[in-house]
């Protein structure tokens, strides 16, 4: 199995609570908080672990909250490559209104980074990258990290023998479009981000596939994935395009669905599966995640159950 390194520059301690009703100017009596290590890359590592795989988490940590993240990762059996963050690791809160099922997600910004912190992180990631392995960058960037960080990382990784998977959004994604960075091996984005980059709606699966394949041919990545929400996921390479159907499930929480997709997809590729097979695994992972509460992710049993309901077809 190919080694996997996940990168989380802006980790968090995720607290999840429930309350009978969310209303202003009242004391809201809550359930005891559930606590998980969070942030895109850490969630990818957690999903990989839940599916029986192994990864190492490169994670920037600081202060007592950072120590708590370390303890939670140790309890989860996830190997850690710690990097000193320039300040206290952040916390995040997910509150569920039991009367409506609505979720309220409060996300803090994280510590401020300087140019030297960024340069050190890039250098350390390059050294930690497993030879012939997979490096996954996922999640938000802390304040001070430039928007072109994914593009700079892609250029850095091109000098190693590791493959780079990027799951990014917002201005960082636009910067990647405009840069002359070396192509990532895989680039993933959601439907809204794809439409923002395209400058038009992508109402049909074929529209998403056309756009994804155009990005490949423009040199952004060797494969591009567009997540179309409850419809499913499109993957395009230079010569092929596939669509994985999202199975119909009862949605409990959408938190972590994208990270579960990335975890299942990456683990499948690390085990020698094809893009087509990995896309099916990712679709099942995302669907499994939405059936779980709060910050829980996918489970191996649910992924196995849903896999036959995620057919992959050319598009």
Q: Which residues are catalytic?
A: 259
Q: How far is Cα 130 from Cα 125, in angstroms, rounded to an integer?
A: 10
Cα four-point dihedral sign 231, 97, 8, 134: negative
Which residues lie below 8 Å from residue 184, measured CB to CB, with a gap of 6+?
150, 154, 157, 164, 165, 166, 220, 221, 222
Q: Are 244 and 232 in contact (CB under 8 A)?
A: yes
Question: Which one-letter DSSP state was computed for residue 231?
Answer: G
Q: How far is Cα 154 from Cα 162, in angstroms, rounded to an integer?
A: 10
Which residues lie below 8 Å from residue 248, measured CB to CB, with a gap of 6+?
309
Quote the distance between the C-alpha of residue 137 and its chain's center: 8
Per-residue b/e over 212-238, b at no fewer than 16 CB within 10 Å?
A: bbebbeeebbbbbbbbbeeebbbbbbe
Give the neighbor-by-neighbor strand order of the sheet with 221-227: 79-84, 56-61, 4-8, 134-138, 163-167, 184-190, 221-227, 232-236, 241-245, 312-314
Which residue is associated with the tokens 């049993």? 301
């Amino acid at each position: 199995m190919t080694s996997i390194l996940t990168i989380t520059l802006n980790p968090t301690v995720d607290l999840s609570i429930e309350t009978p009703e969310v209303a202003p100017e009242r004391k809201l009596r809550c359930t005891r908080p559930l606590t998980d290590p969070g942030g895109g890359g850490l969630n990818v590592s957690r999903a990989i672990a839940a599916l029986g795989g192994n990864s190492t988490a490169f994670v920037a940590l600081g202060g007592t909250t950072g120590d708590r993240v370390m303890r939670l990762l140790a309890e989860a059996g996830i190997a850690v490559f710690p990097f000193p963050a320039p300040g206290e690791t952040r916390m995040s809160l997910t509150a569920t209104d039991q009367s409506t099922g609505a979720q309220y997600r409060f996300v803090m910004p994280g510590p401020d980074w300087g140019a030297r912190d960024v340069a050190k992180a890039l250098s350390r990631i390059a050294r930690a990258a497993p030879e012939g392995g997979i490096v996954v960058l996922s999640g938000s960037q802390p304040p001070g990290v430039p928007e072109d960080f994914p593009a700079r990382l892609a250029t850095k990784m091109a000098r190693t023998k590791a493959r780079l998977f990027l799951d990014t959004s917002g201005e960082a994604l636009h910067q990647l479009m405009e840069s002359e960075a070396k192509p990532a091996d895989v680039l993933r984005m959601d439907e809204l981000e794809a439409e923002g980059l395209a400058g038009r709606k992508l109402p049909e699966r074929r529209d998403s596939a056309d756009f994804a394949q155009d990005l490949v041919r423009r040199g952004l990545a060797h494969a591009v994935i567009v997540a179309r929400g409850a419809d499913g996921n499109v993957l395009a390479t230079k010569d092929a395009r596939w669509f994985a159907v999202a199975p119909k499930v009862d949605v409990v929480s959408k938190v972590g669905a994208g990270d579960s997709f990335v975890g299942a997809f990456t683990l499948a590729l690390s085990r020698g599966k094809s893009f087509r097979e990995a896309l099916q695994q990712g679709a099942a992972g995302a669907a499994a995640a939405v059936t779980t509460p709060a910050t829980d992710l996918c489970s191996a049993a649910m992924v196995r159950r849903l896999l036959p309901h995620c057919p992959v077809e050319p598009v």
